[in-house]
Amino acid sequence: MLAAAHAAASTDFFLVYLANIIMQVQLNTIHKQFGSLVANDEISVLFEPGRIYGLLGENGAGKSTLMKILSGYQRPDRGEILLGGAPQHFASPRQALAAGVGMLYQEPLDVPVFTVLENYLLGRAAGGESPRQAARALEALAQRYGFDIDPHEHTSELSMGERQQLELLRLLAGGAQVLILDEPTTGISAEQKDILFASMRTLAREEGKTLILVSHKLDEVQELCDYAFVLRKGRLVGGLPLPCPNQQLVSLMFDELAPRPARRQLGQHAPALSLQSVQVHTGRLELEPVSLQLQAGQVLGLAGLEGSGQELLLRACAGLLPLSGGSLLLGGESQPDWNYPLARQHGVAYLAAGRLEEGLVAGLTLTEHMALVSHTHGLLVDWPQNRKLAEQHISTYQVVGQPESYIENLSGGNQQRFLFAMLPQNLKLILMEHPTRGLDIRSTDWIWEQLDQRRAQGTAILFVSADLDEIAARSDQIAVFSGGRLLRSLPAAETSADELGHLIGGAL
């Protein structure tokens, strides 16, 4: 009797042990490069079943790349994936799912014109299941995790959160043991987030699945996860059991602050821009009333996680979004009907983040760009003159290129230089989105030198950046945004990038 019980207990133990081994996910020295950019640099991590992991890192740290590799969407240049100790070579996400790894992508990868049921069926093994049976199975599954889904609804009519739920159910029905969720809380309601997190807890605690939450938001990782891996610039820089002090995560996520170069205080006590209880509404986000002042020659940096409202404010200042409340004063004058052409007339320039989408015209040469911005209204273009202008700008702004080069063939840094070259002189205000994103240090410094020269002439600067070092080092004043609200406005001289990291992570 006793021996039999003992044997049963040990087989139980053995089965549990076996199950754990089977679902253990191991990534060994994963390396992935896009051109010269190293997105994943020899990353090794281990995920145990029954736990919820956070994968933290700034934008561009390489989180999505690593997870796309694990889920078979992309192939690594080097390195191996082991599931329960067995090496895997996924040729497609379908194969990964068959092996038990499913991923919810940052953008829901479904077919919007299909019904929910059609999306659920697409890619499922046939297995003699009728559509009606499948619909019933889907509904039952949805109920189990507290999701509310109508199989016959069109997917395009669902909210982002519901599309995620659908995708999650599809992965579970497909046999996923390891579930990866890439930034799932962007664009869903607070209520849907709670439902999602509850279902993730159920999946891990009760069903022993492995969950990986990819995020750059500290507080949600702290709230949900047992353990966090932190990536920075393509490298794994650490792993910590959670919860832990935010400070530890912040110091892993962000670089040490380099000694700040001495910068001149150029505020001239002449008002450049003044915002009084400005409100902006878009379909996705409402910006609560914001009041800010900017003096001539000053730099105001807007910090915040992507989609916290700072971009809306910038676009509203450029006249690209209408104000839904409050007032905007330029140089002390109220501007009730602010719009983009008016902004240009008043000496306001706007540099968008998408250089080739909004600022430059792919397919045109540098000379042609000069002709485009020159404000002559003659029928004929003075090509020799514009060519000369282009040459001048190329030499003064040290652009690596020829007047005949097509703009899209220039490197990002040189495109940005040329954009600056095309800015008119004597501007009152320059508005910039991510002015140095993707640029190397040399180009970055060069661009800020140019901006300093303009500041000396009295130009004020308002910019949005995801690079906290840049914000801390280049601004006079910093405004921190969170969830559509101006959280704080603080002087840059007394703020470090670390503190900023804290603030935008919603810790304070």
Partner 1 sequence: MDSTQLIAIFGSILLQSAPLIIAVCGETISERAGVINLSMDGSLLLSALAGFVAALLSGSLLLGFVAAAAVGAVFALIVAFGSLHLRQNQVAIGFVLAMLGDSLSAFLGQSYTRMPGPSVPAWHIPVLKDIPVLGPIFFRQDAVVYFALLLVAVTWWFLFRTRAGLELRSAGERPEAAFTRGVAVRKLRYLYAVLGGALVGIAGAAYSLDVKIGWAEGHTRGMGWIALAIVIFGGWSPVRGALGAVLFGATKALATVLQRSFPQVALVAFNAVPWLLMIVVLLLVSGKLAAPLLARAPATWRRAPAAWRRTLRGLLQAAPPAALGQPLDEQ
Ligand X SMILES: Nc1ncnc2c1ncn2[C@@H]1O[C@H](COP(=O)(O)OP(=O)(O)O)[C@@H](O)[C@H]1O
Contact residues: ligand X, CB under 6 A: 34, 37, 39, 57, 59-65
Smallest separation (angstroms) from Mg ion to the CB of 61? 8
Select 73 or 227, whichever has its Cβ closest to partner 1.
73
Touching partner 1, residues 90-149 (CB under 8 A) = 92-95, 97, 105, 109-114, 118, 121-123, 126
* Partner that binds at residue 60, options ligand X, Mg ion, partner 1, none, CB closer than 5 to 8 Å by kind: ligand X
* Partner that binds at residue 80, options partner 1, ligand X, Mg ion, none, CB closer than 5 to 8 Å by kind: none
* Partner that binds at residue 93, options Mg ion, partner 1, ligand X, none, CB closer than 5 to 8 Å by kind: partner 1
Order of strands, edge to edge, in the sheet holding 325-330?
286-295, 271-281, 325-330, 333-334
Touching partner 1, residues 441-480 (CB under 8 A) = none
- d(CA 435, CA 215) in angstroms, rounded, equals 24
The DSSP-derived string for 93-109 is HHHHHHTTEEEE-SS--
- The answer to the question of residue 182 lying near partner 1 (CB under 8 A) is no
What is the distance between the terminal CA atoms of the chain, rounded to a whole angstrom?
61
Select 64 or 119, whichever has its Cβ closest to Mg ion.
64
* Partner that binds at residue 61, options partner 1, ligand X, Mg ion, none, CB closer than 5 to 8 Å by kind: ligand X
Smallest separation (angstroms) from partner 1 to the CB of 133? 13
Smallest separation (angstroms) from ligand X to the CB of 65? 3
For residue 335, count other CB atoms closer than 10 A to its CB.
18
Select 27 or 316, whichever has its Cβ closest to ligand X.
27
243 cis-preceded (ω within 30 degrees of 0): yes
User: By beta-carbon distance, which residue lies closest to Mg ion?
Assistant: 64
> What torsion, rounded to 10 degrees, do the Cα atoms 308, 314, 315, 321 define?
80
- The answer to the question of residue 64 lying near Mg ion (CB under 5 A) is yes
Stretch that binds Mg ion, among 59-67, 264-272, 329-337, 497-505 (CB under 5 A): 59-67
Select 306 or 445, whichever has its Cβ closest to ligand X.
306
Smallest separation (angstroms) from Mg ion to the CB of 268? 41
Q: Which residues contact 441 (CB under 8 A, 6 or more apart)?
A: none
Place of tokens 């320039």: 349
* Partner that binds at residue 421, options ligand X, Mg ion, partner 1, none, CB closer than 5 to 8 Å by kind: none
Place of tokens 């999602």: 196
Q: Using a CB cutoff of 8 Å and minimum separation of 24, what contacts does 219-226 make? A: 219/505, 219/506, 219/507, 220/185, 220/193, 221/54, 221/56, 221/249, 222/246, 222/249, 223/197, 224/52, 224/54, 224/197, 224/200, 225/52, 225/53, 225/54, 226/51, 226/52, 226/53
Q: How many residues bind Mg ion (CB under 5 A)?
A: 1
Q: How many residues bind partner 1 (CB under 8 A)?
A: 24
